[in-house]
Amino acid sequence: GINAEYMGIILRDKMFKGVIEDIGGKAQIKTSSIKTLRKKIEDSYPNLYGHLDTIWPLKKETIVTQAKVKLATGAHCFYFVNEELLFVEPKNGPIIPHLKLLHKYPFIMPFMQCDKGAIKHVIGGSDVMCPGLISPGGLIDDTVKKGQVVAIMAEGHTHAMGIGVAALDASEIKSIKKGIAIELIHHLDDALWNFLFTPGAIPPVVEKDEEQSIQQSRNHPSLKLSLIQI
């Protein structure tokens, strides 16, 4: 079980867009609960299997906090390892990695790429629309199914600018060609991106040749981890 008192978080506007206020305490999770949570993460992101021991060592203290969202019902759960925010579980939503964790482990999930025209809209908090993916600058992973968590890439950049949930199958995005393709959950410079995160604390495990292969396959130049330069 969880020993609560929780840290209260107020998030203004949509999901993690706006300001987060730390207004409470923290709760330590018991080892048995940590194992259950880790299994849930590995089941959600099979590509993390074998790497989670590096990211989330079982012997290290793990702290969970619960967040209340203004203008929405329920709460988000924030999962920390040694004070580092690694995963977030929105109310009635999928557990997701912090975007900075995704930057260190880019193989966690499939990705979709938006064209340059969509970048400012996504960073502004908008969902990804079908035209931004089917244009010449977009890329669609044909294996993606509705409801699957995906990384949102930006044309001309290496690292993901957001994380979202596919609103349509990949085939439907191509055939329908309009409407929402990906519902945005978390993006660069939103409140979650800026919340209690110490750069460099998470050890990267991607080998140089693997990282090079990823970059070559996407044909992207380097992206600063702070913000995409539009």
pTM above 0.85, yes or no: no
Q: What is the mean pLDDT of the chain?
A: 75
What is the C-alpha to C-alpha distance for residues 205 and 220, in angstroms, rounded to an integer? Answer: 20
Q: Name the nearest CA neighbour of 33 among 75, 2, 78.
A: 2
User: Given the structure tokens 């050890």, which residue do they identify?
Assistant: 203
Q: Calculate mean pLDDT across residues 145-160.
A: 95
Distances (CA, A) of 93 to 16, 32, 163, 169: 13, 23, 12, 18
The pair of three-digit structure tokens given for residue 30, joined into one six-digit string: 């018991």
Q: What pLDDT, in 10s, does the model give residues 85-132?
A: 889 887 777 899 999 999 999 999 999 999 999 999 999 999 999 999
Q: What pLDDT, in 10s, does the model give residues 172-219?
A: 999 999 999 999 989 998 888 877 544 444 444 444 444 444 444 444
3-class SS of residue 82: coil
Q: What pLDDT, in 10s, does the model give residues 27-85?
A: 677 777 888 888 999 999 999 988 988 888 776 666 666 554 443 434 677 788 877 78
